[in-house]
Structure 1
Amino acid sequence: MKTTSQSRMRMVPTITNETIIALIGLYCLAVVMGYGRFLFTATLPDIMTQLTLSTTVAGWLASVNYIGYFIGALIAMFVPQRTTWQTLMLWTAMSVITTMMLAIPSLPIMLWYLVRLLAGIASGIAMILSSTLVIQSFSLERRALLSTLHYAGIGVGISASAILTWWLLSLDYHFDVIWLIAGLSSLPLLWLLLGIRPDNAADANPQPRSIHQTYINFKRSLYEAISGNGKAISLLSTSYVLAGFGYITSTTFLPVMATNQLADTYAGLQIWLVVGVSIIIFNPVWGILAKRIGEINTLIGLTLLQALGMFSPLWFAGALGLYANAIIVGMTFAGMVSMTLNIIKNMNPVYSNLLIGLATLAYALGQFIGPLVTVALAGDNDNFDAGLLAAGIGLLMGLGLLLWFRQLPQKSV
Structure 2
Amino acid sequence: MMTASKSRTFTTITNETATALIGLYCMAVVMGYGRFLFTATLPDIMTQLALSTTIAGWLASVNYIGYFIGALIAMFIPHHITWRALMFGTIVSIVTTILLVIPDMSLSLWYVIRLLAGIASGVAMILSSSFIIQRFSIERRSVLSTVHFAGIGVGISASAILTWWLLTLGFHFDMIWLVAGISSLPLLWLLYAVRPLNVNTSKQAQAQPNAEHRSVRQTYINFKRSLYEAIVGQTKAISLLAASYVLAGFGYITSATFLPVMAAQRLTTQTYAGLLIWLVVGIFAMLSNPLWGALAKRIGEVKTLMGLTLLQALGMLLPLWFDGAFGLYGNAAILGSTFVGMVSMTLNIIKNMNPAYSNLLIGLATLAYGAGQFIGPLVTVALAGENDNFNAGLLVAGIGLLVSFVLILLFRRQSHRAI
Correspondent of 2:273 among 267, 270, 285 = 267
Is the CA contact 1:145–1:288 (under 8 Å) kept in the aligned structure 2? Answer: no
Residue 112 of structure 2 corresponds to 114
The 1:220–1:105 alpha-carbon spacing in structure 2 relative to 1, beyond 3 Å, is same
The amino acid that maps onto 2:214 is: R
Asked whether the equivalents of residues 237 and 415 of structure 2 are also in contact (C-alpha less than 8 Å), the reply is: no
C-alpha contact 1:22 1:150 (8 A) present in aligned 2: yes
Q: Residues 78-98 of structure 1: CA distance to partner in whole angstroms, max 9, x if unpaired?
A: 112222111111111100000
Asked whether 1:34 is paired with 2:32, we answer: yes
Residue 300 of structure 1 corresponds to: 306
SS in 2 for 1:14: strand
- Partner of residue 384 from structure 2, selected from 375, 378, 390: 378
Match of 1:361 among 364, 367, 383: 367
1:223 maps to which residue?
A: 228
CA distance in 2, matches of 1:14, 1:104: 36
The residue type paired with residue 151 of structure 1 is: F
Asked if structure 2 preserves the Cα contact closer than 8 Å seen for 1:85 and 1:197, the reply is yes
Contact 2:20 2:144 in 1 (8 A): yes
Match of 1:57 among 55, 58, 65: 55
Report the Cα offset of residue 229 of structure 1: 2.1
Structure 1 residue 8 displacement after superposition: 10
Task: Give distance in 1, aligned partners of 2:199 and 2:223.
Answer: 21
Letter in structure 2 aligned against 1:45? P
Does the C-alpha gap of structure 1 residues 289 and 24 become closer, same or farther in structure 2, counting only changes over 3 Å?
A: same
Letter in 2 for 1:296: V
Residue equivalent to 1:102: 100
Task: Determine if contact 1:103/1:179 at 8 Å carries over to the other structure.
Answer: yes
Aligned pair 1:254/2:252, yes or no? Answer: no
* Greater shift in the superposed pair: 291-300 or 266-275: 291-300
Query: In the alignment, residue 271 of structure 2 is paired with which amino acid?
Result: T
Alignment of 1:304-315 (within 5 A): 304-315=310-321
The aligned counterpart of 2:209 is 206
Q: Post-superposition, which runs of at least 4 consecutive aligned residues in structure 1 deviate over 4 A?
A: 410-413
1:333 offset after TM fit, Å? 0.8
Partner of 2:124: 126
SS of 1:152's equivalent in the other structure is helix
Q: State the AA in 1 paired with 2:367.
A: L
Residue 412 and residue 78 in structure 1: after superposition, are their counterparts in 2 closer, same or farther (change >3 A)?
farther
Secondary structure of 2:199 counterpart: helix
Which region of structure 1 is more displaced relative to structure 2, 141-150 or 97-106?
141-150
Q: Is this contact kept in 2: 1:239–1:397, CA < 8 A?
A: yes
Aligned to 2:401: 395
Q: Match of 2:353, SS? A: coil
Say whether 1:178 aligns with 2:176.
yes
Single out whichever of 228-237 and 361-370 deviates more from structure 2.
228-237
Residues 168 and 8 of structure 1: CA distance in aligned 2, closer, same or farther (over 3 Å): farther
1:60, CA displacement in angstroms? Answer: 0.3
Alignment partner of 2:386: what SS? Answer: helix
Contact map agreement 1:374 1:386 (CA 8 A) in 2? yes
Cα deviation for residue 410 of structure 1 reads 4.7
Q: Is the 8 A contact 2:249 2:369 kept in 1?
A: yes
Equivalent-residue separation in structure 2 for 1:176 and 1:67 (angstroms)? 23
Summarize deviations over 1:122-176 as a string: whole Å, max 9, x none.
0111111111111112222222221111111000000000000000000000000
Partners in 2 of 1:79 and 1:70 — Cα distance?
A: 15
Q: Which runs of 5+ in 2 are unaligned?
A: none
Task: For 1:143 and 1:235, locate their aligned partners in 2 and report how far apart those are by CA, in whole Å.
Answer: 27
Summarize the Cα distance change of 1:309–1:8 in structure 2 as closer, same or farther, 3 Å threshold.
farther
Residue of structure 1 aligned with 2:13, choices 12, 15, 39:
15
Alignment-derived partner of residue 3 in structure 1: none
**Unaligned residue ranges in structure 1 (runs of 5+):** 1-6
Counterpart residue identity of residue 135, structure 2: S
- Rate the CA distance shift 1:336–1:8 in 2: closer, same or farther, 3 A: farther
Structure 2 counterpart of 1:375, which letter?
Answer: V
**2:357 aligned residue:** 351
Q: Distance in 2 between matches of 1:342 and 1:199?
A: 28
Partner of 2:348: 342
The offset of 1:411, in angstroms, is 8.2
Residue 283, structure 1, aligned to residue 307, structure 2:
no
What SS class does the counterpart of residue 30 from structure 1 fall into? Answer: helix
CA distance in 2, matches of 1:8, 1:325: 53
2-structure distance, mates of 1:21, 1:194: 11
Counterpart code for 2:231: I
Partner secondary structure for residue 209 of structure 2: coil
TM-score, L = length of structure 2 = 0.94
8 Å contact from structure 1 (residues 100, 183) kept in 2: yes
Q: Distance in 1 between matches of 2:143 and 2:99?
A: 36
C-alpha deviation, 1:200, in angstroms: 4.7
Kindly state the Cα deviation for residue 48 of structure 1 after the two structures are TM-superposed: 0.4
Tell me the CA shift for residue 37 of structure 1.
Answer: 0.3
Deviation string 1:180-221 (CA, Å, 9 cap, x unpaired) is 000001011111111221245344442332111111111111
Q: Report matched runs for 1:321-332 at 5 Å.
A: 321-332=327-338
Q: Is the CA contact (8 Å cut-off) linking 2:154 and 2:282 kept in structure 1?
A: yes
Structure 2 CA distance for aligned equivalents of residues 130 and 353 of structure 1:
12
Q: Alignment identity in percent? A: 73
Q: Taking structure 1 as reference, are residues 311 and 303 closer, same or farther at Cα in structure 2, changes over 3 Å only?
A: same
Q: Which stretch of structure 1 is more off in the superposition, 370-379 or 187-196? A: 187-196
Matched, 1:90 2:91: no
- Cα deviation for residue 290 of structure 1 reads 1.1
Quickly say closer, same or farther: Cα 1:409–1:379, change in 2 above 3 A.
closer
